Amino acid sequence: MRMRKKKHCDERLEKCSSLWIKNPEDYIGKWNEIFGNSNPIHIEIGCGKGQFVCNMAKEHPDINYIAIDVVPDVLVIALEKATAQEVENVRFIIADAMKLCEYFEYDEVKQIYLNFSDPWKKNKQAKRRLTHKNFLDIYKKLLKEGNLICFKTDNKALFEFSLNSFTQENFKLQNITLDLHNSKFEGNVMTEYETRFAEQGMPIYRLEAKYIGWKDE
């Protein structure tokens, strides 16, 4: 569903300018200066309305979070939420995931979260999925061996596609569950979508993909 345009979006973004990084390319290799510490950096690609990243930041004050979304009308809601809750260890950028290497250096990001990404259901749209090889190749330029991508979705077809994609691109899969909320997994933090799906009794699929290095061509 397309997000309806928010009234006065630009003005609302400006009111949250302390957490909104307008020119992320200026901080490549220097993100710890933004936070004023050397804590590890985790990023969420497609942060939606910000429930997940705000709660993660509050639960893990020793980790710095950067939330990314390509749609300003979505990101402004997340920004306002973080500002109202006075979350200090999170920043937001409006960006396309294809440009991540312009914003982060190798090993600057320690973990990536992909939560309820658009499944792009038609086969001809597969290249737009955030777990397609094209995107995984970008993530591999950022991650050090052993770093994780944590992936959650309600879409079974996307999950199966992602299982194959991660495996083919030299990620080791772990903590795979086909029904997260009825599993033994601890420490789950829910997104807005996930909360709604859980109330409807829908299964949530989750995995962790550990990067184990570039394959020899």
Which residues are annotated as catalytic? 118
- Tell me the DSSP string of 185-215: -------HHHHHHHHTT---EEEEEEE--PP
Six-digit token string for 120? 């792009």
Q: Which pairing describes strands 41-45 and 111-115: parallel, antiparallel, or unpaired? A: parallel
**Closest-CA residue to 47 (of 70, 28, 25):** 70
Write down the H helix ranges in 93-216: 133-142, 156-168, 192-199
Question: What is the CA 164 to chain-centroid distance, rounded?
Answer: 20
